[in-house]
Amino acid sequence: MNALRRHRVLEAIWGAPKGWRGTVVSVNHSDIGKRFVIAAFAFFAIGGVLAMMIRAQLATPGSAFVGPDIYNQLFTMHGSIMMFLFAIPMFEGLALYMLPKLLGSRDMAFPRLSAYGWWCYLFGGTILIASMVFGVAPDGGWFMYTPLSSKAYTPGINADVWLLGITFVEISAISAAIEITVSVLKLRAPGMRLDRMPLFAWYLLITALMMIVAFPPLILGSILLEVERAFDWPFFDPARGGSPLLWQHLFWLFGHPEVYIIFLPAAGVISTVLPVLARTRILGYGWIVAALLSLAFLSFGLWVHHMFATGIPHMALGFFSAASALVALPTAVQVFAWIGTLWNGRPELKLPMLYLLGFFVIFVIGGMTGVMLAMVPFDLQAHDTHFVVAHLHYVLIGGFVFPMMAGAYYWLPHFTGHTRDELLGKASFWLIFVGFNVTFFMMHLTGLLGMRRRVHAYPEEAGWTLLNLVSSVGSFVMAFGFALFAIDVALHVHYARRRRRNPWTAGTLEWAMPIPTPAYNIASLPTVSDREPLASSPDLATSLARGEGYLGEPRHGWRETMAVETTSGAIDHVVVLPGNTRLPIVTAIVTGCFFLCLLAGQYWLSLVPVAAVVALGLRWAWVLDWHQDIGPLPIGRGQTAPMHREAAGPPGWWGSTFLLVADGTALASLLFGYAFLWVIAPNWPPPERIEGGLMSGVLAAVSAAAGSLLARRCLTDGAKGLSGPARRIALAGVAAHLVTVLALATLGVTALPAPQEHAYAACSWALLAYALLHATIALLCLAFGCARIVAGQVSPQRTLELRVARLFSDYSAATLAIVLACLLAPSVMS
Amino acid sequence: MLWRISAGLILWAFGFSLLYALQGTGCAQGWDEVAFAWTTMLRAILVTTWLLLVAASFALLRLVRAASSDFEKRVTTATTLAGALALLVTGSPVALVSACT
Query: Which chain B residue lies closest to A294 (C-alpha atoms)?
Result: B79
What does the DSSP 8-state code read for residue A399?
A: I
Torsion angle of the four alpha carbons A468, A469, A470, A473, in this order, in degrees rounded to the nearest 10: 120
Chain A nearest C-alpha distance from B91 (Å): 6
Q: Does an H or E element contain A673, and which? A: helix A651-680
Which amino acid is located at A599 in the chain? Answer: L
| pLDDT at A803 > cutoff 80 | yes
- Per CB-CB distance under 8 Å, the chain A contacts of B19 are 319
Amino acid sitting at position A764: S
Residues of B in contact with A316 (CB under 8 A): 20, 23-24
B36 touches chain A (CB under 8 A): no
Average pLDDT, chain A: 93
Residue A286: its chain B contacts at CB < 8 A? Answer: 71, 74-75, 78
> In Å, how far is B27's CA from the nearest CA of chain A?
9
Count of C-beta atoms within a 10 Å radius of residue A664 = 17
Return the pLDDT at A306.
Answer: 86
**Architecture of the structural domain at A685-829:** Up-down Bundle (1.20)
User: Among A446, A324, A323, A462, which residue's Cα sits nearest to residue A382?
Assistant: A446
pLDDT at A277: 95
Q: Which residues are paired to B35 by β-bridges?
A: B40
Give which of B57, B75, B85, B89 to mutate to test A binding, by max A Cβ within 10 Å: B75
Averaged pLDDT for residues A22-47: 95
> What is the average per-residue pLDDT within A85-95?
94
Measuring CA to CA, which residue among A23, A407, A33 is closest to residue A183? A33
Instruction: Give A728's strand partners.
Output: none
Tell me the one-letter amino acid at A788.
R
pLDDT tier at A305 (50, 70, 90 boundaries)? confident
**Gap between the Cα atoms of A71 and A121, Å rounded:** 25
As a residue count, chain A comes to: 830
State whether A680 and B100 contact (CB < 8 Å): no
Cβ–Cβ gap A290/B74 under 8 Å: yes
Give me the pLDDT at residue A731, please: 95
Question: Which residues on A lie below 8 Å from B9 (Cβ)?
Answer: 293-294, 296-298
* B98/A314 touch (CB, cutoff 8 Å), yes or no: yes
B74 — contact with chain A (CB < 8 Å)?
yes
* Predicted local confidence at residue A825, as pLDDT: 83
| For residue A147, cis peptide bond before it (omega within 30 degrees of 0) | yes
DSSP state letter for A501: S
| B86 at A interface, C-beta within 8 A | yes
Q: For chain B, positions 49-68, list CB contacts with chain A under 8 A.
A: none
* A290 vs B79, B90, B92: nearest CB: B79
Put simply, the answer to whether B9 touches A293 (Cβ < 8 Å) is yes
Q: How far is CA A105 from CA A99, A183, A271, A316, A563, in A?
A: 8, 9, 21, 46, 9
State the number of CA atoms in the 13 A half-sphere of A656 facing the CB: 20
Q: Is A166 helix (H, G, I), strand (E, B) or coil?
A: helix
Distance from CA of A319 to the nearest CA of B (A): 5
| CB-CB contact of A138 with A162 (8 Å) | yes
Q: Do B75 and A319 touch (CB under 8 A)?
A: no
Per the rule left: phi > 0, alpha: psi between -120 and 50, beta: everything else, A442 is alpha
pLDDT band at B85 (very low <50, low <70, confident <90, very high): very high
Q: Which sign, positive or negative, has the C-alpha torsion A255, A256, A257, A263? A: positive
Write out chain A residues lying below 8 Å of B21, CB-based: 675
* A297, A336, A661, best to mutate vs chain B, most B CBs in 10 Å: A297
pLDDT of residue A830 exceeding 80, the answer is no
**pLDDT tens digits along B59-84:** 998 888 888 888 999 999 999 999 99
Report whether pLDDT(A829) > 80. no
Global confidence as pTM = 0.95
Strand-pair partners of A636: A639
Q: Are A292 and A206 in contact (CB under 8 A)?
A: yes
Mean pLDDT value across residues A11-37: 94
Sign of CA dihedral A232, A235, A237, A242: positive
Domain boundaries, chain B: 2-93
Name the B residues in 1-20 with CB < 8 Å from any A CB: 1-2, 5-6, 9-10, 12-13, 16, 19-20
Candidates A1, A91, A102; CA nearest to A41 is: A91
pLDDT in tens, A256-271: 899 999 999 999 999 9
Considering only the beta carbons, identify the residue of B1, B9, B23 that sits closest to A297. B9
> CA-CA distance, A68 to A50, in Å (whole number)?
14
pLDDT at position A574 over 80: yes
Mean per-residue pLDDT for A94-117? 95
Position A341, amino acid:
T
Nearest to A488 by CA among A547, A553, A408, A557: A408
The answer to whether A183 and A652 are in contact (CB under 8 A) is: no
End-to-end CA distance of chain A: 77
**CB-based contact (8 Å) between B39 and chain A?**
no
Q: How confident is the model over A698-710, as a mean pLDDT?
A: 96
**Coil, strand or helix: which one is A562?**
strand
Q: Which of A256, A312, A315 to mutate to test the interface with B (most CBs of B within 10 A)?
A: A315
Spatial separation of the C-alpha atoms in residues B79 and A289, rounded to whole Å: 9
8 A C-beta contact, residue A765 and residue A748: yes
Report CA-CA distances (Å) from A585 to A95, A598, B35: 21, 20, 64
- Convert the pLDDT of each residue in A192-240 to its tens digit: 999 999 999 999 999 999 999 999 999 999 999 999 999 999 999 999 9
**Helix%, strand%, coil% for chain B, nearest 5:** 80, 5, 15
What pLDDT sits at residue A254? 93
Q: Closest Cα of chain B to A799: distance in Å?
A: 27
Q: How many residues does chain B have?
A: 101
Question: Any idea where the domains of chain A sit in the sequence?
Answer: 685-829
Strands (E), A512-564: 559-564
Would you say residue A817 has pLDDT above 80?
Answer: yes
β-bridge mates for residue B39, sequence order: B36
Question: How far is CA A653 from its chain centroid?
Answer: 20
Per-residue buried b or exposed e for A37-72, using 16+ beta carbons within 10 Å of the residue's own CB: bebbbebbbbbbebbbbbbbbbbbbeeeebeeebbb
pLDDT at A28: 95
Query: A423 CB contacts (<8 Å, ≥6 apart)?
Result: none
Give the rounded percent of residues in chain A with a pLDDT score beyond 90: 84
Could you tell me which residues come within 8 angstroms of residue A428 by beta carbon, excluding any fewer than 6 positions away? A481, A482, A484, A485, A488
Which chain B residue shows the shortest CA-CA distance from A291? B79
Question: Between residues A653 and A693, which one has the greater pLDDT?
Answer: A653
Q: What pLDDT does residue A191 have?
A: 94
Exposure on the CB side of residue A605, measured as CA atoms within 13 A? 11
Confidence of residue A723 (pLDDT cuts 50, 70, 90): confident
**Residue A188, pLDDT above cutoff 70:** yes
**A 304-323 residues with CB below 8 A of B?**
313-319, 322-323
Q: What is the DSSP letter of A677?
A: H
A563 phi and psi angles, rounded to 5 deg: -115, 145
pLDDT in tens, A116-163: 999 999 999 999 999 999 999 999 999 999 999 999 999 999 999 999
Convert the pLDDT of each residue in A528-556 to its tens digit. Answer: 999 999 988 888 999 999 999 999 999 99
Own/partner pairs for A802-806, CB < 8 Å, 24+ apart?
A: A802/A711, A802/A714, A802/A715, A802/A718, A802/A719, A802/A726, A802/A730, A803/A653, A803/A715, A804/A652, A804/A653, A804/A656, A805/A711, A805/A714, A805/A715, A805/A730, A805/A733, A805/A778, A805/A781, A806/A708, A806/A711, A806/A712, A806/A714, A806/A715
Looking at the complex, does the CB of residue A677 fall below 8 Å from at least one CB of chain B? no
What are A639's strand-pairing partners?
A636
Do the beta carbons of residue A702 and residue A272 sit within 8 Å? no
Phi, psi of A401 (to 5 degrees): -70, -45
- Partners of A122 in the β-ladder: none
Q: What is the DSSP string of A646-669?
A: GSSS-HHHHHHHHHHHHHHHHHHH
Q: Which residues in chain B are closer than 8 Å to A213, comparing Cβ atoms? A: none
Q: A47 with A82: CB under 8 angstroms?
A: yes
- Write the ipTM: 0.96
**A571's torsion region: left (phi>0), alpha (psi -120 to 50) or beta?**
beta
Record: contact A315-B72, CB cut-off 8 A: no
Q: Does A657 touch chain B (CB under 8 A)?
A: no
**Contact flag B83-A297 (C-beta cutoff 8 Å):** yes
A523 phi/psi in degrees, rounded to 5:
-70, -35
Helix (H) or strand (E) holding B20: helix B2-29
Q: What is the mean pLDDT of residues A11-30?
A: 93
What confidence category does residue A492 fall into, taking pLDDT thresholds of 50, 70 and 90?
A: confident
Contact A301 B16 (CB under 8 A): yes
List, as ranges, residues 271-290 from A with C-beta within 8 Å of B. 285-287, 289-290
User: With an 8 Å Cβ cutoff, are B75 and A316 in contact?
Assistant: no
On chain B, the residues whose CB falls within 8 A of the CB of A195 are 69, 71-72
- Residue B65 distance to chain A (closest CA, Å): 17
Any A CB within 8 A of B98 CB: yes
